[in-house]
Amino acid sequence: MKCVICKGKIENSFLGKIMGTFVKKKAVCSACQKKHGKGVDALVE
């Protein structure tokens, strides 16, 4: 799975869960979450 902001690969945990989150049904990596904070919602659109 790829991040919609930085287009980088999102790693999976050993249980198959992504190491990030879904914002408006699109995947965002944890690095972009930290970098952009609450402004992630505007970047996903």
Asked whether the whole model's pTM tops 0.85, one would answer no
pLDDT value for 7: 96
Mean pLDDT score, 9-38: 93
Non-local CB neighbours of 3 within 8 Å, separated by 6+ positions: 9, 10, 20, 27, 28, 29, 32
CA distances from 14 to 4, 9, 31, 44 (A): 22, 16, 19, 27
Residue 38 pLDDT > 90: no
pLDDT of residue 45 exceeding 90: no
The residue extents of the domains of the chain are 1-45
Does the structure show a pLDDT above 90 at 34?
A: yes
- Three-state DSSP at 27 gives strand
State percent of the chain over pLDDT 70: 100
